[in-house]
Structure 1
Amino acid sequence: MLANDSGVYELPAFDVSVVDETGAGDAYAAALIDRWILAGVPPREAGRFAAAAAAHNVAAEGARGGLATRAAVRSFLADR
């Protein structure tokens, strides 16, 4: 869930096959900061982007094995 002055947004995780959960929270937080805080994207869109980054991260082994580029996250989202 995300919240700001405009409301509360429920943003479910993506249903993906998990190889390794290591680093998923860090990937989520970094993507959320990148989109919501730095790029000024609305919270629902930024949270969905962050959830996609975390989903991408759990698909590979290790904390850094699944880190996605913005393009990879956009591609993931385009398929859903």
Structure 2
Amino acid sequence: MLKDLLSRLYGFLNDTNDPILNGPIPSPHYYQALRILRGEEQLPPRVQLTPPYQGWWSSLTKSEWDTLMNLIYSQGKESKNKQQ
């Protein structure tokens, strides 16, 4: 019975091209964190971070930053590929 229900659910998700089949749906907080890390957005004033968290990414070289971003994006792709 469980196998049948899962099969029907997957069929429905597939038929409707549900984005959940492509992997977890990132929250708005995820996108905001990336903008903050890239320096495109400042932390909201009510957030008070203390060392070593505050601004650690600002000391990264371009090469280190690119490596970090590649790692983050490759983890997302690996997760997506495992689910397929």
TM-score (norm 1): 0.32
Q: Which has the higher helix share?
A: 2
Higher relative contact order (CA 8 A, sep 6+): 2
TM-score w.r.t. the length of structure 2 is: 0.31
